[in-house]
Chain A
């Protein structure tokens, strides 16, 4: 496998469910990110991890809980979500935090989440 892979690609869950999104990067990068993409809205940065340490939490509700066990893997644990949390969740990686000097983020294909 190459690049950034995300699973599952599609997820439907009820508001009381607990689920997790998984991201794996095969690029040897030091930084990983979770973004939320909703229709008609800009990409919204949720969390940033650099060398497995969380360096940014953009005022994300606690029902979203990230986990970065190592520099290649990133999880987003979901619990008691709301219908407005339905969106495409994109994982990305870069050599350094915030894309370093090049601004280049490598994105996964995303996990399409629907909350009923």
Chain B
């Protein structure tokens, strides 16, 4: 079982729609969760972090965490073509280490 799993996509959504990106993780004791965005040919950059169950909103982005079900999601409202990128889920605290474990990423395509 992969430690952090994401659907590789591509996930295609029309401009203005809500894009929903999902991530599951294997270790129940994981403590911290992050979303990185990576544009094609560029480096990953941190866009959201979440530590407790529930929702965390930042502008058009909402991170959702459900530790009981071991999943974390990222919602992007009013998607724009400029949101087209690969979104990497990262988990910290897996198996009682402080490593950041990354998923393979989901490629999002927002079409006009």
Contacts and interface: CB of A to CB of B under 8 A. Distances in A.
Contact of A42 (B4, B45, B98): B4
Given A43-B44, A90-B43, A108-B43, A103 B104 contact: no
Interface of B is mostly: strand
Interface residues of A, number: 19
Nearest to A4: B43
Interface in A6-57: 40-43, 45
A42 B49 contact: no
Interface in B21-50: 32, 34, 42-46, 49
A98 B101 contact: no
A108 B88 CA distance: 16
A66 interface: no
6 contacts: A42-B105, A43-B88, A43-B102, A103-B34, A109-B43, A110-B43
A90 B36 CA distance: 14
B43 A99 contact: no
Nearest to B43: A107
Interface in B68-102: 88, 90, 92, 98-102
A105 B2 CA distance: 22
A41 B46 contact: no
Nearest to B33: A103
B42 A42 contact: no
A98 B43 contact: no
A63 B105 CA distance: 28
B104 A42 contact: yes
A37 to B, nearest CB: 9
Given A97-B98, A98-B92, A103 B32 contact: yes
Contacts of B100: 45, 98-99, 103, 105
Contacts of A108: 43
A5 to B, nearest CB: 11
B103 A45 contact: no
